[in-house]
Amino acid sequence: IRETDAIVHVVRVHQDPNVVHPEGRVDPLADIATIETELIYADLEQAERRLERVAKTAKSGDRRAIVEAAWLEDLIDALERGRPASAVPAPPDAPDATRLLSPLTAKPVLFVANVDEDTDQVPPSILEHALARGAAAVAVSARLQAELSELDADDAAAMRAELGLSESGLRTVVRGAFSLLSLVAFFTAGEDKPAQSWHLRQGMSVWAAAGMIHSDIQRGFVRAEVVSWRELVDAGGYAGARDRGTLRLEGRDYVVADGDVITVKFTP
């Protein structure tokens, strides 16, 4: 879990009596507090072990180790007081200290409220908690999603429409995670190869996207053909998109938009 980019924290909100809670109650905030406390304890143990190693190096006069050791002491103090690692940013003289420790309570969090089938709203108490923590929150009914998963695509879509749901639970969670991490998705696709999805940070260029596909493509970048996936589908393919003028050429500084389909022209 320390290798992840973010944490998805599923919280019970539903009142289904057939799902037994270990403590015999439904209290989302108490459950959240339990998990957050466990994560703090895990970070505290990790930080104390790291401090033992760094302190030895600091005794030799290593400036970077001295700074990191001081930061670890502050971090341990904060964790002991019940504060998350995100409240103690790494110092400028040791900017990679957080990355080296990889504390769980410094990671972005997406709360997923597992709600009853008759609602798609996150309870205000969870929203307030998420806001206070700099986190995000979405609502999904796991039971409803399990029922929908047993239907074919058309029937599932019809049932969601009847219930007033605009998207699947999976899409809700993925969209929430992308927003939390400031990511956009782009695609590569050709007449003779399957479509593939990629993701990168919002605001990054098509040149950076080319590097994700392959370093050789980035190195020999000339230009990129870009069209949104919806325009490509509506046009019936690349030929139709060219005829409609929706397929355009972009230079290396073009900022990739969510849903772009990109074909990079490059010199080998």
Fill in the amino acid letter for 231.
E
Which has more pLDDT, 23 or 242?
242
Instruction: Report the amino acid identity of residue 19.
Output: V
- Domain 16-106 class in CATH: mainly alpha
Burial tier of 2 (Cβ tally within 10 Å: 0-12, 13-18, 19+): exposed
Beta strands in the chain (DSSP E): 7-12, 109-114, 136-140, 183-190, 193-201, 221-228, 248-250, 260-266
Q: What is the pLDDT of residue 126?
A: 98
Which tens digit of pLDDT belongs to each residue from 230-254?
999 999 999 999 999 999 999 999 9
What distance in Å separates the CA atoms of residue 29 and residue 266, rounded to the nearest whole number? 53
Tokens of 233: 């589908």
User: Could you read off the pLDDT of 198-207 as tens digits, one per residue?
Assistant: 999 999 999 9
Domain 183-266 has CATH 3.10.20.30: yes
Could you state, in order of their start, the residue ranges of all structural domains in the chain? 16-106, 109-177, 183-266
pLDDT of residue 164: 84
Mean pLDDT of the chain: 94
Q: 109-177 architecture in CATH?
A: 3-Layer(aba) Sandwich (3.40)
Alpha carbon dihedral 155, 159, 165, 167, in 10-degree steps, equals -10
Note the pLDDT tens digit of each residue in 44-73. Answer: 999 999 999 999 999 999 999 999 999 999
User: What SS3 state is found at 241?
Assistant: helix
So what's the pLDDT on residue 235? 96
